[in-house]
Amino acid sequence: MSTLSRDEVARVAVLARIDLTPAELDRLAGELDVIVESVARVSEVATPDVPATSHPLPLSNVFRADEPVPPLDRDEVLAQAPAARDGKFLVPQILGEE
Amino acid sequence: MSTTTDVDLVDYDDAVARFDPVIGIEVHVELGTRTKMFDGAEQFFGEEPNTQITPTSLGLPGALPAVNGTAVEYAIRIGLALNCSIAESCRFARKNYFYPDVPKNFQTSQYDEPIAYDGFVDVELEDGTVFRVEVERAHMEEDAGKNTHVGGATGRIHGAEYSLVDYNRAGVPLVEIVTRPITGAGERAPEVARAYVQTLRDIFRALGVSEARMERGNVRADVNVSLRPTPQSALGTRTETKNVNSFRSVERSVRYEISRQAAILDAGGTIVQETRHWHEDTGITTAGRVKSDAEDYRYFPEPDLVPIVPDRAWIEEIRAALPELPAARRRRLQGEWGYADAEMRDVVNAGAIELIEATVEAGASPAAARKWWMGELARTAKQQEVELADLPITPAQIGALQQLVDAGRINDKLARQVLEGVLAGEGDPEQVVVARGLEVVSDDGPLLEAIDAALAAQPDIAEKIRGGNLGPVGAIIGSVMKATRGQADAGRVRELVLERLQG
């Protein structure tokens, strides 16, 4: 039984800004479904006394002191950008917001 | 899209008579740590663009975040001050979306496990009524960079040709405080909204976790408003007005949304759940994004940061070190100063607490300090359209001025002239007294001369007083005060006049 539809893959692709052809969508829907089903099998063996784990490392409270580090050089950074102006990154006009 | 009033509005009083407004407020506060939330880039306001950037705050490949411990402590301070429970354990999450001011393409935030939850804030309204606002949660996250839209007529996104991005602010620590739906405020909902944000601002300052300057965007509010027919009805559909950045705007935007939504509901329409933009200049809101399925942030736990499990002893240490909060401080000072409730409210509303406190420390009595700041100085500030604190005079100077009065060296009338001199930049009160020659004439010699001159000039009055009629004494005192340019002690003049004529 399929748990992940082609439409869902298409929607996630849009959210992730990945441009997929219809053929790619067909293929990925199948492949991703196998992955999702494999992962879902974990919940079959997990009993209620097994807590969900987001962080497998036995670590917590790893804090950094509030001490400054030297910044990157602005000119060097902006030189890597496709476009810059007035010390700022220049990006294409932002659409679809207002 | 129009930014002018192109919708019908229902008169506010009419709207709240027929609908029950419910509001909800999200307040973001930028923490005043030295460095950013997840990296060591320094953060302070007003630097040249893109000079406070590191690989992490630019989201460069391979860069890893590390939590600023001081920011966590500040967040706990805020949580405790808002009467919240502090989480046994909490974690960060990624909120995924694409926008140029978010360089990683996700914001590191807290989602299902905020550091603080289930609190409340008692908000005091201008007339002294206390309104309790329940806090659902306070969580840690990072600020975004700043976009400047170039080419549009209004500097907004619409019509812009391109945008310029400054990442100095990207990664600045934020705490977001979310209320539960605020019900029961009725027609006072706009006032409650404003007072709530103002109360939080005061708390942030008292806690020392942020400069909390509204005009710099240190504190920003998103205001949710919905209407329902009666307090018993289910909650209506809400709108969220984003980034309202002054107390006055918070109040105005809630009023506007209540009037606007009432008009739509009256016409049989439905409220669209959407974000709205506040326009400070025209005092209206306009539609922004419609909340829809497209807004799917796909939150998931941040794998690069381990959970935060605040040590209970640490929390108690922070709690014990919390400073006195503004409401408690107001109550304490009112008791110490002996002000009536109404007097204290006026002082609070005028933003004069710190000024009066410092003036009292500088040697003035609480009554005198209040008299100066709420009288002469309040009038001057109003005339000049500035805040009291921005007048070119310090509490220390007012304290010194009052001490001159208390010592009998100047009287009230002269004190006002001294004040004028200090405000005009002529120096401290003592310097103004000397430079303007304003000291009270305490030597009887010059006073007697002036008295004799006044009596000689008004012999009929002198005769009446000699005959035992003390009514006209005031006229002689007036002449003497005039002759000494107000520098005489009126009480002493009266004594001398009576000695002269009846002694």
Specify the residue for token string 């930028």: B30
pLDDT at B195: 96
In this prediction, residue B478 has a pLDDT band, given cuts at 50, 70 and 90, of confident
Give the pLDDT band (50/70/90) at residue B484: confident
* Mean pLDDT of all residues in B211-225: 95
**A83 in a domain, yes or no?**
no
pLDDT, residue A2, reads: 62
Q: Is residue A71 in a domain?
A: no
Subunit contact A94:B160, Cβ cutoff 8 A:
yes
pLDDT of residue B493: 85
Q: Do A89 and B151 touch (CB under 8 A)?
A: no
CA B102 to chain centre: 30
| E strand segments, B371-483 | none
> Is residue A93 a part of any domain in this protein?
no
On whether residue A91 sits in a domain, the answer given is no
Give me the pLDDT at residue B295, please. 66
What was the pLDDT predicted at B22? Answer: 98
For B342, list phi and psi in degrees, rounded to 5: -65, -40
Residue with tokens 């209004």: B154
Q: Are A3 and A33 in contact (CB under 8 A)?
A: yes
A54: nearest CB among B48, B58, B301: B301
Mean pLDDT for A17-30 is 93
For residue A62, being part of any structural domain is answered with no
Q: Do B49 and A87 touch (CB under 8 A)?
A: yes
pLDDT, tens digit, 9 for 90 and up, residues B130-151: 999 999 999 999 999 999 888 7
**Does B1 have pLDDT greater than 80?**
no
Which tokens go with B83? 């009467």
Containing structural domain, residue A13: 1-48
pLDDT of residue B322: 97
Residue A14 in domain: yes
Q: What is the pLDDT of residue B246?
A: 93
For the ranges A69-73, B384-388, B395-399, B467-471, the lowest mean pLDDT is seen at: B467-471
Instruction: Report the gap between the CA of A20 and the closest CA in chain B (Å).
Output: 17
The domain that contains A8 carries what CATH number?
1.10.20.60
Q: Testing the interface with B: which of A11, A14, A61 to mutate, by most B Cβ within 10 A?
A: A61
Q: Given this model, what pLDDT does residue B33 score?
A: 98
Minimal C-alpha gap between A45 and chain B (Å)? 22
CB contact under 8 A, B69 and A66: yes
- Kindly write down the DSSP assignment for every residue of B60-129, as one continuous string: -TT----EEHHHHHHHHHHHHHTTPEEPSSB--EEEE---TT-TTSEEEE--SS-SEEEEEEEEE-TTS-
Q: What is the pLDDT of residue A46?
A: 81
Q: What is the mean pLDDT of residues B281-309?
A: 85
Does residue A36 belong to any structural domain of this protein?
A: yes
Q: Is B153 a residue whose pLDDT tops 80? A: no
pLDDT digits 0-9 by tens, B392-447: 999 999 999 999 999 888 888 889 999 999 999 999 999 998 888 887 777 778 88
CB pairs under 8 A between A and B: 138
Nearest to A88 among B50, B277, B308 (CB): B50
The per-residue pLDDT for B3 is 43
> Considering its fold, how many domains does chain A have in total?
1
Q: Using a pLDDT cut of 90, give the percent of chain B over it.
A: 73
Q: Which residues contact B326 (CB under 8 A, 6 or more apart)?
A: B199, B202, B203, B206
Q: Would you place residue B159 in the very low, low, confident or very high pLDDT band (cuts 50, 70, 90)?
A: low
Ranking A50-59, B8-17, B246-255, B315-324 by mean pLDDT, the lowest is A50-59
pTM here is 0.83
3-state secondary structure B179-214: ECCECCCHHHHHHHHHHHHHHHHHHHHHHCCCCCCH
Looking at residue B279, what is its pLDDT? 93
Q: What torsion, rounded to 10 degrees, do the Cα atoms B54, B59, B64, B65 define?
A: 80
Q: Is residue A74 part of a domain?
A: no
Across the interface, of B53, B67, B147, the residue whose CB is closest to A71 is B53
Domain boundaries in chain B?
12-306, 326-436, 444-502
Do the chains contact at B66 and A62, CB–CB below 8 Å? yes
Note the pLDDT of residue B429: 94
| ipTM field | 0.90
Which of chain B's residues have a Cβ under 8 Å away from the Cβ of A89? Answer: 50, 100, 164-167
Which of A8, A57, A63 to probe by mutation at the B interface, max B CB count within 10 Å? A63
pLDDT exceeds 60 at position B466 = yes
Interface test with A, best of B276, B306, B311 (most A CBs within 10 A): B306
Q: Do A67 and B35 touch (CB under 8 A)?
A: yes
A90 touches chain B (CB under 8 A): yes
The token pair at B45 is 């306001």
Rounded to a whole number of angstroms, the distance from the CA of A37 to the nearest CA of chain B is: 19
Between B293 and B344, the higher pLDDT residue:
B344
Average pLDDT of the residues in B271-298: 84
Contact criterion met (CB < 8 Å) for A55 and B307: yes
Q: What is the mean pLDDT of residues B224-236?
A: 97
The pLDDT, as a whole number, for residue A57 is: 86
d(CA B46, CA B293): 38
Neighbours of B446 (CB within 10 A): 15
pLDDT at B242 exceeding the cut of 60: yes
Q: Which fold has domain B444-502?
A: Arc Repressor Mutant, subunit A (1.10.10)
B224-242: average pLDDT: 96
pLDDT class for B100, splitting at 50, 70, 90?
very high
Tell me if B157 and A97 make a contact (CB, 8 A cut-off): yes
How many CA atoms lie within 13 Å of B462's alpha carbon, on the beta-carbon side?
14
Q: What is the pLDDT of residue B177?
A: 98
Is pLDDT at A35 greater than 80 in this prediction?
yes
Task: Tell me whether residues B67 and A88 touch, CB distance under 8 A.
Answer: no
Per-residue pLDDT of B40-55, as tens digits, reads: 999 988 789 999 999 9
- Give percent of chain B above pLDDT 70: 95
**B294 — pLDDT class (breaks 50, 70, 90):** low
Tell whether A94 is within 8 A of chain B (Cβ).
Answer: yes
Chain B residues near residue A85 by CB distance under 8 angstroms: 164
**Which residues in A lie closer than 8 A to residue B106 (C-beta atoms)?**
none
Please give the mean pLDDT across all residues of chain B.
Answer: 91
* pLDDT of res. B6: 55
In chain B, what residues touch A57 (CB-CB under 8 Å)? 306
CB B123 within 8 A of CB B133: yes
Q: What is the mean pLDDT of the segment spanning B318-332?
A: 95
pLDDT at position B449 is 85
Question: What is the C-alpha to C-alpha distance for residues B420 and B418, in angstroms, rounded to an integer?
Answer: 5
Chain A residues close to B307, C-beta within 8 Å? 54-55, 60
